[in-house]
Amino acid sequence: MEVDRGEWVAAMGPSGCGKSTMLHLLGGLDLPDAGSIRLDDDEITTLAAPDRARLRRRRVGYVFQQYNLIPHLDVTANVELPQRLAGASRREARARSTELLETLGLGGRERNMPGTLSGGEQQRVAIARALANHPDLLLADEPTGALDSASAALVLDLLRARHDGGQTIVMVTHDPEVAAAADRIVHILDGQIVRVEPRRSVSAP
């Protein structure tokens, strides 16, 4: 499978078919038994674990299905953390976090702890954290799967806005309506790509 820069690809398939494993492989969280995974000129499969971690900090944003926010850090600190790990100054990280949270409609929630937020708000914090280091690739694992319909629509709108701005996205979803927002849909069964729906047609303005 190849993903072009700026493309949005959705992966669909039954539970246990390998969708989340594919994201883990693309992000260098797991290594394949065979084959090659490249992010531009970076061959992920040959990198040592510390080098894969550095590549993720520099080039990959990950939106986990269950948010994975750090419960004892407030919203701002959760978004600042990956930036600080990547070498940003405290001032730079704070400014970027404030900008992202405002854009995602979370102004006024900066000092909230994750446990005081709704599911939709937690997912938006997770998206802000994933985007904090300006990643080349955004990986989203069921980003709307645990949300009510209103929160899911908001998260999908946010992803669409990022894509319209040139963000490359690979997203796992069970929801055909969510998948329809992507440029291309890859269907997975038993660890194999079995079908690829062609790029959606774009109407002339």
> pLDDT tens-digit profile of 11-26?
999 999 999 999 999 9
Work out the pLDDT band at 63, boundaries 50, 70, 90. Answer: very high
User: Mean pLDDT across the stretch 163-179?
Assistant: 94
Using CA atoms, how far residue 70 sits from 9, 46, 81, 132, 190, in Å, is 28, 30, 10, 16, 33
What pLDDT was estimated at residue 170? 97
The pTM assigned to this predicted structure is 0.89
User: What pLDDT shows up at residue 192?
Assistant: 92
Contacts of 167 (CB under 8 A, 6+ apart): 6, 131, 138
b (16+ CB within 10 A) / e for 15-50? eebbbbbbbbbbbbbeeeeeeebebeebebeebeee
Share of the chain above pLDDT 90, in %: 75
> For 43-47, 88-92, 183-187, 200-204, which range has the lowest pLDDT when averaged over its residues?
200-204
Mean pLDDT of 196-205: 56
pLDDT on residue 199: 61
Mean pLDDT taken over the chain: 91
The answer to whether residues 198 and 182 touch, using CB atoms and an 8 Å cutoff, is: no
According to CATH, the topology of domain 8-197 is Rossmann fold (3.40.50)
pLDDT digits 0-9 by tens, 90-146:
999 999 999 999 988 899 999 999 999 998 899 999 999 999 999 999 999 999 887
**Are the C-beta atoms of residues 152 and 178 closer than 8 Å to each other?**
yes
Task: Quickly state the pLDDT bin for 201 (edges 50, 70, 90).
Answer: very low
